[in-house]
Amino acid sequence: MPSLDRRRFLRDAAASTALVTAGGLASTSFGAPAQAAPAAPAAAAMPAGAARRPAPVSFRWWGTAGWRVDIGTRTVLVDPFLSRIDTGLFKAAFKETTPLEVNTAVVDSYVDRAETVLVTHTHWDHFMDVPYIAGRTGARVFGTLTAYHLGLAYEVPSGQLSAVKGGEVLDFGDYTVEVVASLHSRNVSYSVAFPGVRVNPPAKPATIADLPEGDTLNYVLRVAGGPTVFFMGASDFVARNLAGIAPDVAMVALNSSTVTADYVARLMAALEHPKVVVPVHFDNFETELRNPPTVAPSDRTRLDQLIAAVRESSPRSRVLVPEYGTAYHF
């Protein structure tokens, strides 16, 4: 008889009773900013030896690969990109010289607080709002060495910047973050847009071409008493680096082309078939954050193909296509 994988057995047993719930926004307007999860009431004195009740946790998608995670009164952001500037990318008129103009009014309306910002890579649609958010909230920013040097170029204090490589497991008390070295997706020419890294602080970036890919990371967020969630910001990965993670929830980037072989099937196997798969980076991220998300026809086709591939390769996984700002509880 083959040996029993205890962790897998327990997780699969729990899957039969696991629920995903979604709460609407406080406002009836789909375009309204997501509100912070309500603070937990002050806890009464606990008897010695009593189990500590986990903090309430909510996940809100901010478009592209961006997330706001509220763990009680603590907030983690992943790839927050709210300015959604028009580069012409979705109009067949892409301009590499598009200025990096942060829409501070929009960012301020969504970001009231943050203590941790996780950056998967430094393309504009993942990084350009991060220095402003760091300055506004005092959050610590985690990312590659390129993210560190770009942060310095934006005059983010070095004490708020943490360069990571992959392999780190960082303890924040109510949650831990594991950093996973990864890869960026490739286009139909087998190339990466704006490749390169920054090994020293450059001049302050002025256009989107000044923000290179800068290497790519994934993150695993483990909430004490809550779910384990895998975040990716680009549609490629190193399967060996995902061994043993086995998340409950996987935020999976839509593949931009088919040049990465067996992308979905290999990813589902490497992640040991998560209970919930949430597609991300499928929306037109140069439009307003308003539900239902605007999706380009070609991306709609790829999204349908991704969902079908998940259902074929991981039939026990539930696919949840998110809407902007909705509070999901896993």
Residue 12 pLDDT greater than 90, yes or no: no
Share of the chain above pLDDT 90, in %: 80
- Residue 232 counted as domain residue: yes
- Residue 40 counted as domain residue: no
Residue 244 carries which DSSP code?
Answer: T
Q: Is the C-alpha dihedral spanning 228, 232, 235, 240 positive or negative? A: negative
What is the band of 67 on the pLDDT scale with cuts at 50, 70, 90? Answer: very high
- Residue 39 counted as domain residue: no
Strand-pairing partners, residue 63, are none
Total of domains in the chain: 1
Q: What pLDDT score does 34 carry?
A: 40
Per residue in 55-71, is it b (16+ CB within 10 Å) or e — as a string?
A: bbbbbbbbbbbbbbbbb
For residue 133, the enclosing domain spans 55-329
- Residue 22 counted as domain residue: no
Amino acid residing at 20: V
Cα–chain center distance at 235: 12
96 phi/psi in degrees, rounded to 5: -65, -20
**Rounded distance, CA 84 to CA 103, Å?**
8
pLDDT tens digits along 252-278: 999 989 999 999 999 999 999 999 999
Distances in Å between the alpha carbon of 100 and those of 17, 209, 210, 293?
46, 9, 9, 23
Can you tell me which residue has the tokens 């708020």? Answer: 160
**Rounded distance, CA 195 to CA 269, Å?**
28
pLDDT tens digits along 188-229: 889 898 999 999 999 999 999 999 999 999 999 999 999 999
Q: What pLDDT score does 55 carry?
A: 73
Q: What is the mean pLDDT of residues 45-64?
A: 74
According to DSSP H, which parts of the chain are helical? 6-15, 104-110, 124-127, 130-137, 145-153, 263-270, 297-313
Q: What is the mean pLDDT of residues 173-196?
A: 94
**Rounded distance, CA 279 to CA 255, Å?**
10
- Residue 31 counted as domain residue: no
**Rounded distance, CA 197 to CA 211, Å?**
9
Residue 8 pLDDT greater than 80, yes or no: no
Q: What pLDDT score does 54 carry?
A: 72
pLDDT tens digits along 79-127: 999 999 999 999 999 999 999 999 999 999 999 999 999 999 999 999 9
Domain CATH for 226: 3.60.15.10
**DSSP E strand stretches across the chain:** 21-23, 57-61, 67-71, 74-78, 116-118, 140-143, 161-163, 169-171, 175-182, 216-223, 228-231, 249-253, 276-280, 318-319, 327-329
Mean pLDDT of the residues in the chain: 88
- Residue 35 counted as domain residue: no
- Residue 29 counted as domain residue: no
- Residue 276 counted as domain residue: yes
Greatest Cα-to-Cα distance within the chain, rounded to the nearest angstrom: 64
